[in-house]
Structure 1
Amino acid sequence: MINALVWFCLCLCRLVDVTDAVKTVSVMEGDSVTLNIEVQKYLLIMWRFGNTRIAEVNRLTQTNSTYDGPDGRFRDRLKLDQTGSLTVTNTRTTDSGLYTVTVISKDTKYMSFNLTVNERSSSSNRVASSFVVNNSTVSQTENNSDHICCDFTEAVIRLAVSALVGMHSFAI
């Protein structure tokens, strides 16, 4: 009896392949995001947002379905391709959360994505500045953001140009 139980557990472990890694995905509000699973061979793929089923592809019945969710939050915003990847269009902050997918073929695989939808900065976060060089006024408007928008090389070039402009205006 013990041998049969051990054999059953080993077979069950072989059939169910659990992937523990949760992939973290971040996107700006209003953008589209694709949660890629890149599966070629499967019988059934089921996507869930929290505990709510939102999409499935069934090769046996040859159906590809998306669901709005109980509150209609995903209405006309989900796309499912034949590899099982899920695209959410026109993302909203309420779309943030855990997306899980179950892929059933010879084995059963589980994958998870933690999606974060970041708010777009408002126009009130814009910084305007102006300075005078050779009796000409130069104005600049940019977004006030905590994100670094340039790489190291661009930062060095900007620093050098700022130093040259500063030395030139000091000499005049």
Structure 2
Amino acid sequence: MQVTVVQGDITVQDVDAVVNAANRRMRGGGGVDGAIHAAGGPEVLEDCRRRFPDGLATGAAGWTTAGRMPARWVIHVVGPNWNRGERDRSLLVSCYTGALAVADELGARSVAFPLVSAGVYGWPREDAIRAAIDTLRATPTGVEEARIVAYGRSALDEVASALGD
């Protein structure tokens, strides 16, 4: 699988699936989650309510429609919240392995990922980048491209540098 990085808005990526860094309730929120719900429209929230009436556990993954976004699916993952003491790295890693497993179930060949937990959840960015890249590279999958979408220039530069390691 090819792991790439771009700077931009995850909601406009021309991929089969986008990964949402969701909260446990699965009802929308801030950051990537809010952007995906806003861009996808009410269809995403309706599908979340129908498919995940009790939400998702930290580290878990599941899918919904992408609604009005160019992607076909949203793969929702619930990353650990560093700021609330959730510091088990295996939960962060499971977001990436779980997303790839869901992508394989769906037949998705291209998937756009945010840096899960590296925003408002406060996971140290350098470790979040390393967890993402190492897990994406090491996990057997039918996905052909895992695209990390960096929101800002500094994140883009850090991911690009780590990909070169």
> TM over 0.5: same fold?
no
Instruction: Name the larger-Rg structure.
Output: 1
Q: Give the structure-1-normalised TM-score.
A: 0.23
Greater helix content: 2
Higher strand share: 1
